[in-house]
Amino acid sequence: GAALGRIEEALARCQELIDETGNGIFQPEVCECRSRAAALRGDSPAAQRELVQARELKGDMGATAQIERLAGDA
């Protein structure tokens, strides 16, 4: 419980940094981590949304191996 809260706070800070700098290179990883955190909370719809976004962002970057890895998490 408490650890999950700290993880979500850290992810929120990561998102703030991405937004502040405009450097979205780490956005897919943040989405993937948010997906896993949502799954731990039992929020399957949010987990799936974040995972889809991570895949789309990886696709935009041409990271096919990462897309295949994420496909196994569906």
What is this structure's pTM? Answer: 0.83
State phi, psi for 43 to the nearest 5 degrees: -100, 80
Q: With a cut of 90, say whether residue 7 has pLDDT above it.
A: yes
DSSP track, the chain: -HHHHHHHHHHHHHHHHHHHH--GGGHHHHHHHHHHHHHHHT-HHHHHHHHHHHHHHHHHHT-HHHHHHHHTT-
pLDDT at 65: 74
Residue 74 pLDDT: 58
pLDDT tens track for 8-19: 999 999 999 999
In the predicted structure, residue 70 carries a pLDDT above the cut 80: no
Q: What is the mean pLDDT of residues 50-63?
A: 89
How much is the pLDDT for 68? Answer: 76
